[in-house]
Copies of this chain bind each other. A is one copy, B any other.
Amino acid sequence: MSYDTFGTLFRVTTFGESHGVAVGVVIDGMPSGFELDIEAVQRDLNRRRPGTSRYVSAREESDRVEVLSGLFEGRTTGAPVAMMVRNESARPENYDELKELFRPGHADYGVQARYGVRDHRGGGRLSGRETVARVAAGAVAKQFLESLGVEVSGFVRRIGGVRAESVDLAYARKSEIQCPDPEAEARMIEAIESAVAERDSIGGLVEVWATGVPAGLGDPVFMKLDAQIAWGCMSIGGVKGVEIGDGFALADMRGSEANDQFKDGFELDTNRCGGIVGGISAGAPIVVRLAVKPTSSIGKPQRMARTDGSVVEHALEGRHDPCLCPRIAVVAEAMVAIVLLDAWLRRSSVVKNS
């Protein structure tokens, strides 16, 4: 019953809202004695940060992380790791036009129906701003996973129909739009700019890879690794689909095509399964793909409902990302890392006692 908590042994509780004082996270279950590099956390926050390029929201936030508890002389103490980022550029007045309007593609109307009240100043807890907390927690998880030999990387696979054909993860990390293919990057940017020029927005695909994951992570029934990944990734605003490995393409295959067969020792000759079989990691790279819808807030006129039930044509003002993919790549990477570390800790707990 925790709206704000995710995970079992590595438990992440987020707080904060779009136009409040701060956003932050409390991590329960971080192993103690681990040397934590806060600058690496900051680097991930910078990758997610608005105002960094023309292709994400112009809201300016320095997003400096402050550690509130759980660290002593650079190492985790076993106490909950609490981190906070202050909101600097909250401009609730920008949202005055929305007091009596429900925007298409936004949860405005659903929230009103759910809670009977609505904070019209941006999305509150449903705002993308909440994901600052997830990225901070994910950066912690990633560092621990790295010490175990696991690398988790999110990147943009497709924007506006342009597909990254090659994957250079180091390139993606530096790319303004988290694109792993220099050639595709230029054309993706064109697609974004074309949408901006028409006061419109654009969708795409985000992919997360986890390499170095050993076989045997994940648990039966509701704790299957893919089930937890699907939960975590679908909980990111703007995501409308999640698939593992070849995902939807598998639906049109025969078993003899779809099964990854063994080739040598326990290695698989293909990776259609995306590294997860029966909910448990198979020893191959984990591949997750997210369908990201185009940003709902656009400058084109749309038919919106007023609180009195009448419908008006209206064009939105304000600072919005023309494409959510670059930032969702960073958030999805964080969510997959949280799931993987959680599964790793669960595995540690059981093997020991069997």
Q: Which residues of B contact A78 (CB under 8 A)?
A: 115, 117, 124-125, 220, 350, 354
Q: Let me know if A58 is at the binding interface, CB within 8 A.
A: no
> What residues on B are CB-neighbors of A80 within 8 Å?
3-4, 13-16, 125
Q: Is the CB of A69 closer than 8 A to any CB of chain B?
A: yes
The distance in angstroms between the C-alpha atoms of A113 and B282, with both chains bound, is 9
| A16 adjacent to B82 (CB under 8 Å) | yes
CA distance A28 to B228 in the complex (A): 18
B21 with A69: CB separation less than 8 A: yes
Does A259 have its Cβ within 8 Å of any Cβ on chain B?
yes
* Closest chain B residue to A320, Cβ basis: B255
Interface residues on A, range: 35 or more
The reply to whether A17 and B256 form a contact with Cβ atoms under 8 Å apart is no
Query: Which of A2, A216, A223, A264 has most B Cβ within 10 Å?
Result: A2
Complex Cα spacing A345 to B345, Å: 12
Q: How far is the CB of A307 from chain B (nearest CB, A)?
A: 10
Cross-chain contact A119 with B77 (CB below 8 angstroms): yes
- Of the candidates B248, B264, B349, the one whose C-beta lies within 8 Å of that of A241 is B248
Work out how many copies of this chain go into the complex.
4
Neighbouring B residues of A195 by C-beta, 8 Å? 254-255
B5 touches A9 (CB 8 A): no
Measured between beta carbons, the chain B residues less than 8 angstroms from A311 are 262-265
Nearest B residue to A308 via CB reads B265
State A106–B276 Cα separation when bound (angstroms): 10
A55, CB-defined interface residue at 8 Å: no
CA distance A220 to B346 in the complex (A): 19
Chain B residues in 8 Å Cβ range of A114: 215-219, 280, 347, 351
Q: Mark A94-107, 1 if CB is under 8 A from B, else 0.
A: 00000000101111
CB pair A348–B354 under 8 Å, yes or no, is: no
In the complex, are the beta carbons of B26 and A13 less than 8 A apart? yes
A33 at the interface (CB under 8 A from B): yes
Is A251 a contact of B72 with CB atoms below 8 Å? no
Interface bits A8-35 vs B (CB < 8 Å: 1, else 0)? 1101011111011111101011011110
A-B CB proximity, top 6 nearest: A107-B278, A113-B216, A349-B349, A110-B280, A241-B243, A231-B231
